[in-house]
Amino acid sequence: MTTTNRFILCLTVMIFFITVSCNTTKWVSLDHEESSKCLQAHLSDSTRIAYDSIVLIPDEETAINIAEPILFKIYGKSKIIKERPYKIGYTNKYWVIIGSLPKHITKGGTFEIIINSGNAEIINVTHGK
C-alpha cells in the first residue's frame, strides 16, 4: 500500500470517528401520537410501583435547583435573582419557597412556589404584585 493510500485510509477513518463522536444530539422529539401512547400505557398499568415512600427532592439545594429554572422561565431570571435570598421550608412532604424583597423596597410582591418532594410536582406558582 502506498503512502498516499495509507494517508487517505487514515484520513477516512479519522473523519468517520470524528463524525460519530461529534453527534451532539441529546434527544429526539416524540410526536404527539407516540408520546400519548406511551403515557396512556403507563397510566393504565396496574402494576406501576407506588412512589409514596420515595423522596425525589431530599434537600433545600435540590428544591432550589428545580424551582429556579421554572421561575426564570415564567418571570425572568433577573427578576427572580433579585428576590434572593429565598425563604424555604419543608412541611407535609412539600417544599415551600418564597422570594424576598430587598430591604430598601417596601412595596411589591415576590414569587411563591410549592413543590411536592415525593414526585417533584409543581403544586402552585404565583407572584404577588
What is the residue whose three cell numbers read 430598601? 104
pLDDT for position 12 = 76
Dist CA 35 CA 55 (whole Å):
26
Dist CA 63 CA 115 (whole Å):
8
Dist CA 27 CA 43 (whole Å):
23
Comparing CA positions, the residue from 70, 118, 129 lying closest to residue 97 is 70
Which H/E stretch holds residue 65?
helix 60-75
Q: Residue 50, CB half-sphere, CA atoms under 13 Å: how many? A: 3
For each of the chain's 129 residues, which pLDDT tens digit applies? Answer: 677 777 777 677 767 666 656 656 667 778 888 888 888 887 787 776 666 677 899 999 999 999 999 999 999 999 999 999 999 999 989 999 999 987 777 777 899 999 999 889 999 999 987
Q: What share of the chain is helix, strand, coil (3-state, %, to 5)?
A: 40, 15, 45
